[in-house]
Amino acid sequence: MHPMHSWLCGIQSVAMNMQTAGEGLIQYGIKISRKTFTAQRWQYYVSASRISTQRLQMILLGNFQFQLIVFGQIMVGGNGADFCLATKYSPNSDVIIRAKLNNNSQVALAVTHSLSPALKLTLSTLCNLTTNESHKFGLGLEFNPSN
């Protein structure tokens, strides 16, 4: 099997005119991406103030698919950087398990189960490990009648 290699480059520009202030906000973004058979890498530059990188590595364990995602971001002129480590695991075709940990000591877990081809149920939680505040729980139901 030959590995797939592809490159992508995109430019985005947003200009908004604020009627009350008389000044507009101009924002632009540049994205560069490279994709291979088992990995993807993205580079983002947004308004010359934020530089981000993201890498997705797919690991195949037998019939199981495991994905590892590393995200990093630096704010130019700001204080500090953001990073995140995330995983996605599919033990079978009906269940997807996701987990994420960021530098603010927040842990997110989500489980999605396909109840039928048109109906999916998601349970999620977000916990802050540094304080006992800001814990969140979620329940989602996705219906796609075209499936």
In Å, what is the CA distance from 124 to each residue of 11, 50, 96, 130?
Answer: 34, 29, 12, 19
Q: Where are the domains of the chain?
A: 7-14+26-143
The predicted-structure confidence for 128-141, as pLDDT tens digits, reads as follows 988 888 889 999 99
Q: What is the pLDDT of residue 41?
A: 81
CATH class of the structural domain 7-14+26-143: mainly beta
Residue with the bigger pLDDT between 74 and 113: it is 113
Q: What is the pLDDT of residue 97?
A: 95
The predicted-structure confidence for 35-74, as pLDDT tens digits, reads as follows 877 778 877 777 666 777 888 787 776 666 788 888 887 7
Q: What is the pLDDT of residue 25?
A: 55
- The sign of the dihedral angle between the CA atoms of 82, 44, 109, 37 is negative
